[in-house]
A and B are shown apart, each in its own frame.
Chain A
């Protein structure tokens, strides 16, 4: 039997079902891998080894008794630290919540537990999911397994790096402006942002409520589909959750047939502004789809040029409102202002928010406060909401001539630590291809398209109309089949071996 950490979630599920492996063996193998390499990668903020093994043993006992289990029961998973977990600390990458153990599970976490997936731990992230590099975590950065001097992208860099360094078969993420898809692109893994409302936001520590969306991260399109199926569905605890059947994403991934499908290349999301080698891998991937029987059409979305501006007004506006809950009164950090006897609640609040929030979070809260302030509201927030409508209309027109839209996921491969931290607008520009889908609430997938000349992975993005998430999986799986065949195996098998520090 092969090393369980090198197997896909689908293969692990099969091996567990036929008794070739136990969940305890699989879970322990991943915990050993975490111990061996995570000091180098920094993918996890908290490893919950004992509870994961207890969950694994419970699944093994139920299977031994012949109980009818979920097909993924016993396959371990990593959870982004923005999702609340009972009994496991949840920090959202912030000092503000250091040591906080939530009294309830996020709905998506409850679904993972109900399906019998042992939780390996909580993955690192930019503080409150604000960032595109995982450098803004209060607990140190995550490193890209392909090159330790480079970021894994963000904000879900921990989840993507855990998956791409064989420390978890799959993981959960959240995507507000690209936080699942962009790190997937930079680490050579697969990430999906479902239709807004397709997965519950209950128990996700909110950044921007009209944009945040939970989704799956994995190494293959089929594994993301399997996890998507577990996480999705209506939740009465989330008033924005869609009460409609979940598309058959697993069936779509299995079908992988794009013959006759119209694939739209978004003119504004290719060419200028994208690194030549990223563009070259994209062009080759499009040719693979053509070879598989797809028809390529060019579509224009002229208002996408305003998407970045609209996003960086709407997101901080909603974030400034959502993060008002961190007031040092009911949970989280509380510190008093220096040199003040018997400080007021307001003074304690201001001192705690200064001590608990990092620079990027403060910047966005203050930007949001500005955008919502009297006299500027119409010029900034109001106009941004109008641009949002223009972008949704652009998508609607494009989907009249195309079944799916495609683009490179990110303009470049992984960048070096510190390369963009001094220039926030340069960092923000990295999300240019992912943000439009968040503004319009549409589903998107990133999968690897190959290596650029710097030896680092490039990402291929597929976008679909709302509630047509299954199309992402059909196109993604068809492309993956052809690329894996051309590469002679998964792209991740070309990643450099990581030095092990202990336990291996």
Chain B
């Protein structure tokens, strides 16, 4: 089993911006360790000198003319917002007092 501690999982959860309860952390340490052990098989594959494939299709960047086109109205864009004010998304404070 991969060497993943409870502190490691707590750190990963903080990087992923998910508050996990203590019980969730305990469960996840065991499960993640089991999953990581099983996926480590990729390191046994004959991959020396293999070019990674990031995508199934050979694709190139796609652009379009920079033209003004119809888009969502402010009301439509805000319709699913948890909070709004003066036709803008209202969000909790971003800067701390420090």
Contacts and interface: CB of A to CB of B under 8 A. Distances in A.
Given A344-B94, A373-B15, A383-B43, A362 B34 contact: no
Nearest to B37: A425
A80 interface: no
Interface in B28-48: 28, 31-32, 34-36, 38-47
B86 interface: no
Interface in B1-57: 4, 9, 12-21, 24, 27-28, 31-32, 34-36, 38-47, 50-57
Contacts of B36: 367, 370
A424 B17 contact: no
A112 interface: no
A369 B89 contact: no
Contacts of B64: 236
Task: Identify which of B20, B56, B76 gathers the most chain A CB atoms within 10 Å of its CB.
Answer: B56
Interface string A98-114: 00111110000000000
Contacts of B72: 103-104
Given A104-B72, A333-B82, A348-B92, A389 B52 contact: yes
B61 A303 contact: no
Contacts of B15: 369, 373
Interface residues of B, number: 56
A428 B41 CA distance: 14
Interface string B67-91: 0000010001101111100000101
Contacts of B47: 383, 386-387, 390
Given A365-B18, A367-B32, A392-B56, A312 B38 contact: yes
Interface string A334-376: 1011000011111111110110010100110111011001000
Given A366-B12, A387-B45, A380 B39 contact: yes
A312 B59 CA distance: 23
A81 interface: no
A431 B36 CA distance: 17
A359 B59 contact: no
A240 interface: yes
A477 interface: no
A210 B56 contact: yes
Nearest to B18: A353
Contact of A379 (B14, B21, B43, B96): B43
Contacts, number: 184
A363 B93 contact: no
Nearest to A439: B56
B91 to A, nearest CB: 5
**Interface residues of B, dominant DSSP:** loop
A331 B57 contact: no
Contact of A369 (B12, B35, B40, B45): B12
Nearest to B61: A239
Interface string A252-263: 000000000000
B35 A425 contact: yes
A389 B28 contact: no
A320 interface: yes
A380 B18 contact: no
Contacts of A439: 56
Contact of B19 (A353, A387, A442): A353
Nearest to B21: A354
A33 interface: no
9 contacts: A103-B77, A236-B62, A308-B39, A353-B16, A362-B28, A385-B54, A390-B45, A390-B47, A390-B50
Interface of B: 4, 9, 12-21, 24, 27-28, 31-32, 34-36, 38-47, 50-57, 59, 61-62, 64, 72, 76-77, 79-83, 89, 91-94, 96
Given A312-B39, A354-B18, 8 more contacts: A239-B59, A240-B57, A312-B38, A363-B31, A366-B13, A369-B12, A386-B45, A390-B50
